[in-house]
Amino acid sequence: MSYSSPAVVIDNGSQTTRAGFASADLPSLVYSSTYSIDPSDPKKVIIGDDERDSNPQNEVMTLIDNGLVYNWDNIIHNWQYAYDNLDASSPIDPKEFPLMLTEQPWNTDKNKLAATQLAFETLQVPIFSLVKTPLAQLYHQGKSSGLVVDLGSGITSVTPILDGIVQSKASFHSKYAGDFISLHCLNYLSQQVPSLDYLLPKPFVNNPTAQLSASFKNFQVTNRVVEDFKYSMLSVSEFPANNPAAHAALQIQSKNFYLPYGKTIPVANEQVNLLEPLFQPSAYPLPNMTLPQPIFDKPSTQGLTHLILSSLKALEASIIPQAILENTANTSANSSHHARFNDILRELLTNLLITGGGSLSAGITPRIIDSVYKSLHQYFPNYLFTQPGHLHIATIQPASINNLDWDKKFGSWLGACNLASMLNGTGSSGNQEDNSVNIALDNWYVTKSDYEELGEDLILEKFK
C-alpha cells in the first residue's frame, strides 16, 4: 500500500533542527536544538526561538553532543514542537504521518532503540525510519557513491559511501568544527570589548535591567553575533599558515565589523587566521582549554585534511588484506586488490561532497581540494591515480547554483525527504503496490505492528 499522508522529516543538528513534510521543497521549521526549563514549573520544557528569547532568565541547555542525542528525557519535546507547528503553526496528529529521523553513522544501538521507542510509544507514529545523515546528503545529489565531508556546527565528519552503503570502519569525525571556530572568534572579539555584555544582540543591549542567565547570554552572543562575524568577515586562505612566506604575502584589506550597539571592530589578518584551526587545531591554543595532543593514528585529534586522508587510508585497510598491504614486493599477487582500490579511490575523489553550514565559508572548497591533492601521493604511493599529474579531484555541485546555500545547510533534510517520498508512490494498477513503496518499506521503514511483534531485534537489523 502507498500512503496518502506525506512523511514528517526531522533532522536534529547540533545547532538547529530542521523539520517539515517530505513533500515540501524546504523545511518549514528551522529552530534551535536547545531548550530551557520554566523555574516555576520544572515539568514545562520550553522549545522554540521566540519562546526562548521571551524567557531570558532561564538557563539554555542542549540536546545534542558529539552529533548524537544525549538528552532523551527532553528530545521528545523538540519533536513534539515540530508536530505542533508544521502546518502553518497548527498542530498535526503524529498518528497520521510516517516519521523519518536522521542519524550519524556512529550512532549507538542504545540510541536507535530509544528513538524508536519514543516514536512508536510516545508519539505513536504508524511508520518510522532512521536514515544516516551523509547517505541522505549524497542521495540528494543523485549519487550512490562518494566521499561526504560534512562541516557542521558541533562535528566535522568524513564518510565514504560505496553503492549506497556507508563504510562505517572508515567513517571518522572530530569536534574541530563550527563551534570550535566560534570559540576562536569569541576569544578575539572578547579582547576588543570591555565585557561579554558588549557583544549581546538587540534588544538585550537596549534593556540592561533584564535578568539574563549566563547560558542565555552565551547563547545569544555565540549564535547571533559570533555567527554573523564568522560568515561576514572570515574566509579560508589559499595558503596554509605553515607556509609563512605565502601566507605573509597575502594582501588582506582591513574590514570593519559592526557590533550591536554601534562600535566597530577592525578585522585584518584575522579574516583568514581564524579559520586556520580547522586545518591545524593544535597550533592555535585557546585560553582555559586543553586540546588533545595530535596523534597520527587518532584522526579525531587532527585537522581536516588529516581526517579526510585517514578515512581513505582506513578504507584501503578494510578492502585490501593486511598481508598484501605489508608485502608490496609480489606485485602480480597484489595487482588485482590494488586495482580495485584504485578504482574506488578514483570514484570517491571525483565524487567529493563538501557540505554543512561550515562549507559556506569563502575559499574552503578549493583549500580542501588543494591540501588533499598535495598529500594524497604521500599517503597512497602505490597508486598511479594519486601520482602528481594524474590526480583529479572533483566536488559534487548542486543542480542549480542558486540552491548552493540550501543544499549545504539543509542537504541531509532534503535527502531524507527524497527517501521518505518513496512512501507516497502510486502503482500502475490500483491493486498493486508501487515498487518504490516496497523498496521504502523493506529498506528504510519499520511499521508499528512489526515493532510490536518483533521488537528490538528488528530495529537493530533494519537500522544497522
| 309 touches 348 (CB < 8 A) | no
Residues 334-349: what's their mean pLDDT? 84
Per-residue model confidence (pLDDT) at position 94: 96
- What is the enclosing helix (H) or strand (E) of 148? strand 146-151
pLDDT at 33 over 90: yes
Residue 156's pLDDT band, with cuts at 50, 70 and 90, is: very high
Among 232-246, 262-276, 291-305, 415-429, the minimum mean pLDDT is found in: 415-429
Q: Residue 208: which pLDDT band, with cuts at 50, 70 and 90?
A: low
Quick check: 138 and 161 in contact, CB under 8 A?
yes
List the chain domain ranges: 8-132+412-462, 178-283, 300-397
Q: Closest Cα partner for 411 from 399, 425, 394, 393?
A: 399
pLDDT of residue 120: 97
Q: Which residue has the higher pLDDT, 121 or 243?
A: 121
Q: Tell me what pLDDT residue 224 has.
A: 92
Mean pLDDT on 434-457:
77
Three-state DSSP at 157 gives strand
When pLDDT is averaged across residues 141-164 and rounded to a whole number, the result is 95
374 vs 205, residue with greater confidence: 374
pTM for the complete prediction?
A: 0.92
Query: Using 50, 70 and 90 to split pLDDT, how confident is the model at 427?
Result: very low
Please spell the DSSP secondary structure of 331-377, one letter per residue. Answer: HHHHHHHHHHHHHHHHHHHTSEEEESGGGGSBTHHHHHHHHHHHHHH
Given pLDDT bands bounded at 50, 70 and 90, which one contains residue 435?
low
pLDDT on residue 431: 38
> Which residue has better confidence, 428 or 205?
205
Yes or no: say if 247 and 239 are a contact pair by the CB < 8 Å rule: yes
d(CA 206, CA 200): 9
Q: Which residue has the higher pLDDT, 416 or 440?
A: 416
Tell me the HSE value of 44 on the side-chain side, using a 13 A CA sphere. 9
The position carrying cell 508519539 is 123
What's the pLDDT tens digit per position in 371-395?
999 898 888 887 766 665 566 788 8
Is pLDDT above 50 for 404? Answer: yes
Q: Does domain 8-132+412-462 have CATH number 3.30.420.40?
A: yes
DSSP state of 403: G
Tell me what percent of the residues of the chain surpass a pLDDT of 90.
61
* CA dist list (Å): 87 to 27, 84, 411, 436: 11, 8, 22, 26
Identify the band that residue 423 occupies on the pLDDT scale cut at 50, 70 and 90. confident
3-state secondary structure at position 3: coil
Domain 178-283, what architecture? Alpha-Beta Complex (3.90)
- Helix or strand or coil: residue 301? helix
